[in-house]
Structure 1
């Protein structure tokens, strides 16, 4: 059974903080940071925003594009490493808020930054097997970075939702195949009860991000019998702009192919929301027949790759909900003190 995306939606908080503002507090020169990371500012969740609220907003936008009864959704999976509760599912909150019937299965997923795409894979399997009519997968985060740590310049907030179905007339993006590459590589972790993650610097680049993204991309292209020339767009996990551009070029993709998926310079790293948001921006500007390669990455470590072809229905739905670029351009800059307040960095 052919399955695909029938609806998608995104959400990005309006608050932003610039690299200069963070660097000023720590006595750093912002220019080498911006040049090294290719990140200039990042999104910040408001005091009443978390993974649950971001997921609800993204889910509402996805339902607007799908045009389906939410009671027909048979599964909801929310991938995040910043679920608001240690023991209490985010997915049930989102299901209730979206009006999804209790006759469904829910679960919260966690695999660093690729938990959202893992949810998409699960929905592909459930819908493709006929067990459910529609499945909803969300990747969202309010990413953590310790004050003064390099992650503080990039750890951001946002997310996107994908509704998976099998009715040909409803599909806007047919999923031709998916492939994953996974190993036990300890490049990034956060212990139970610890507020901020740690990162193993010598594992982060070559052994972790590049190895997994490259192998997943090559794996899906070998399975599909394709080369970079066969794709109109590509999107990769983007912990920063530098890694993203480097892996795209290494694989043989040109700027016109990878440009629309790259949001990190003006958004930051939204962790589980990174590839879902980059893909949503591509869908917003895509047209019938466009072929997309999407490759996520999650520390610890693994990558999920997808081969997607857009149908003529993309033109019918893209304007039915806010576009990602419009959410990205909706900004209100804050200073470091407000940033700490919103991120609960001030303990009282």
Structure 2
């Protein structure tokens, strides 16, 4: 059975509070934090970008399990903030972790679900025998224009998953996707910041597609919410995943371990993948995890995952890399001026 061999996460230590952003723009911090359910977000360091975050997450994954990088036959990096418009991030990640040139590599873009699309691709390649292992990464230094609603949540971070068939720590029993042409969010070539379609972001975007993917996988597998111990949904804010979980009849207890957005913000392609990692950080053999990502434009990938005995074996060590909870702890707080400098909103004249 194909599944997750190991996983790793990287989150920058720098953080800014939502109330600090609201202070600059004269907004009501309580209304914004309460409305979004987000109270702080991660900020990249001056020398951090999607590529460095992806490399750190991949190295954390390999630290947890002795996977030979030479056997990683595919590397896919999902992001909407790749450092280059034309120059693949995946090649940088592959070489940084010691993969051989005998690999296929590509960058994926599908808003916030590009990373889970990479997982699906690696599943197919590994299950067909074309590769031994595949590396799928969701990494972003998310963009939000000054004073725009996105600025309050757009964060930085990433997660990496090695996919294979050789005694995985979690088996992926089934996956499916639900996709339509719904332009709820976009960024044209040459534009610094994305735009969003306001009211289209919620019901015709997020909720329609997440529910579509969830209902489809339930039809295909014959399972329902009660068959899972945990559930993870894409987290553009804290309100959306809680609302869709309630609509789909998942309980607050099922989504609580993976709901990291209140302290982290929205890491876009890393969002649902970091939520899954936080859940795997506490999961035990036999636990069943449901995951549904979402990407504007728009689509959702759903996964039926079961944790195996390998997660507690000598082959795998959770303690060899920081857990999501540890990465969220001990933040370095910055004010808006420092944040703007870190994000490149203001630059030093030479």
Give your verdict on TM over 0.5: yes
Q: Answer whether contact 1:178 1:220 (CA < 8 A) is retained.
A: yes
Structure 1 position 255, deviation (Å): 1.1
Structure 1 position 77, deviation (Å): 0.1
Structure 1 position 66, deviation (Å): 2.7
Distance 1:322 1:16 in 2: 18
Residue 346 of structure 1: aligned partner: 346
Distance 1:112 1:271 in 2: 7
Distance 1:270 1:221 in 2: 27
Q: Answer whether contact 1:66 1:163 (CA < 8 A) is retained.
A: no
Residue 216 of structure 1 aligns to a residue in which SS?
helix
Residue 298 of structure 1 aligns to a residue in which SS?
coil
Distance 1:78 1:66 in 2: 20
Please give the root-mean-square deviation of Cα atoms over the aligned residues, in Å. 0.8
Residue 176 of structure 1: aligned partner: 173
Residue 57 of structure 2: aligned partner: 58
Deviations 1:83-113 (A, max 9, x none): 0001111011111111111110000000000
Q: Answer whether contact 1:181 1:216 (CA < 8 A) is retained.
A: yes
Q: Does 1:332 align with 2:332?
A: yes
Q: How does 1:199-348 map to 2 (within 5 A)?
A: 199-316=196-313, 317-347=317-347, 348=349
Q: How does 1:35-114 map to 2 (within 5 A)?
A: 35-114=34-113
Structure 1 position 49, deviation (Å): 0.3
Distance 1:92 1:242 in 2: 36
Structure 1 position 202, deviation (Å): 2.1
Residue 345 of structure 2 aligns to a residue in which SS?
coil
Distance 2:35 2:96 in 1: 41
Structure 1 position 182, deviation (Å): 0.1
Q: Does 1:143 align with 2:142?
A: yes
Ranges in structure 2 where 5+ consecutive residues have no aligned partner: none
Distance 2:65 2:225 in 1: 30
Distance 1:66 1:117 in 2: 21
Q: Answer whether contact 1:124 1:164 (CA < 8 A) is retained.
A: yes
Deviations 1:156-203 (A, max 9, x none): 0000000001113xx100000001000000000000000000000121
Residue 28 of structure 1: aligned partner: 27
Structure 1 position 315, deviation (Å): 2.1
Please give the TM-score of this superposition, normalised by the length of structure 1.
Answer: 0.98
Q: Answer whether contact 1:80 1:140 (CA < 8 A) is retained.
A: yes
Q: Answer whether contact 1:283 1:318 (CA < 8 A) is retained.
A: no
Deviations 1:113-168 (A, max 9, x none): 00000000000000000000000000010000000000000000000000001113
Distance 2:103 2:4 in 1: 19
Residue 223 of structure 2 aligns to a residue in which SS?
coil
Deviations 1:282-340 (A, max 9, x none): 00000000000000000000000000000011124322211111001131000000000
Count of residues in correspondence between the two structures: 345
Q: Answer whether contact 1:154 1:239 (CA < 8 A) is retained.
A: yes
* More displaced stretch, 26-35 vs 312-321: 312-321
Residue 63 of structure 1 aligns to a residue in which SS?
helix
